[in-house]
């Protein structure tokens, strides 16, 4: 269940650059609903700290000494599946983005993202599991089209029968619409949209919003734009 708007989201920053960590802390310091509860400088340090404290969201750099973010991510997800992880990098690499999302990343941001984008990603991942942006969407859609692979998020429920309303909602999800925007578009309450989204996961054999989007791509429910 989502936290109320006034509740504080505990965030941990994992990056080997002290100045970057300080910059993110400063950028988010004005947000009353965000608390930077801890910092780590590599994946091993992070995993050790998680034995004592568990944040709601982790900002995890990809390139670090000792243990990088790509190695740390699946370990975090295996041991603490409820923690949302936002990957940070200087690289816009579609194959890496897809790999990270399949390993359980909840979003992927370039380090040049401004404070508002980071804030929105933290809030959205905490409340809705994933924060999709142009980077993640393009990578997921293009890689699925090129490779035509079955996503590890899903079972083989390609024959799932969806009604017109469910297909419309799924398409809107693929267009990065929020729950509230989808609700307004189809004239239903946000709570009803969340219920339909959960039902879609069951019908399609997927476990996440990312899995639903991948299902939509494989079944040609998304506009084939590059």
Q: Which domain CATH number covers 131?
A: 3.40.50.2300
CATH of the domain at 185: 1.10.10.10
User: Model pTM greater than 0.85?
Assistant: no
Cα separation of 5 and 145, whole Å?
Answer: 38
Cα separation of 78 and 89, whole Å?
Answer: 22
Q: Are residues 58 and 102 in the same domain?
A: yes
- pLDDT, tens digit, 9 for 90 and up, residues 170-217: 888 877 678 889 999 999 998 999 899 888 988 888 767 777 877 787
> Domain boundary residue among 115, 141, 167?
141
Instruction: For residue 41, tell me if it sits in a domain.
Output: yes
Contacts of 184 (CB under 8 A, 6+ apart): none
Instruction: Domain of residue 31: give its range.
Output: 9-141
| Residue 140 near residue 182, CB atoms below 8 Å | no
Average pLDDT over residues 126-155: 63
Q: Are residues 108 and 214 in the same domain?
A: no
Cα separation of 62 and 45, whole Å?
Answer: 14
Locate all alpha helices (DSSP H) within 129-208, ordered by sequence. Answer: 134-147, 164-174, 179-186, 190-204
């Amino acid at each position: 269940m989502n936290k109320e708007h006034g509740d504080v989201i505990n965030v941990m920053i994992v990056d080997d650059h002290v100045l970057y960590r300080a910059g993110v802390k400063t950028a988010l310091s004005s947000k009353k609903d965000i608390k930077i509860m801890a910092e780590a400088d590599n994946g091993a340090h992070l995993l050790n700290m998680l034995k004592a404290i568990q944040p709601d969201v982790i900002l995890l750099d990809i390139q670090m000494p000792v243990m990088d973010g790509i190695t740390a991510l699946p370990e975090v997800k295996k041991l603490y599946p409820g923690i949302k992880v936002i990957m940070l990098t200087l690289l816009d690499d579609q194959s890496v983005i897809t790999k990270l999302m399949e390993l359980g990343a909840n979003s992927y941001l370039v380090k040049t993202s401004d404070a508002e984008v980071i804030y929105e990603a933290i809030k959205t991942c905490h409340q809705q599991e994933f924060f999709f942006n142009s980077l993640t969407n393009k990578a997921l859609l293009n890689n699925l089209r090129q490779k035509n692979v079955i996503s590890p998020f899903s079972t083989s429920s390609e024959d799932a029968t969806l009604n017109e309303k469910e297909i419309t909602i799924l398409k809107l999800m693929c267009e990065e619409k929020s729950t509230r925007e989808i609700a307004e578009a189809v004239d239903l309450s946000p709570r009803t949209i969340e219920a339909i989204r959960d039902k879609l996961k069951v019908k399609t054999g997927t476990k996440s919003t990312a899995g639903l989007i991948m299902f939509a791509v494989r079944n040609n429910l998304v506009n084939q734009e590059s």
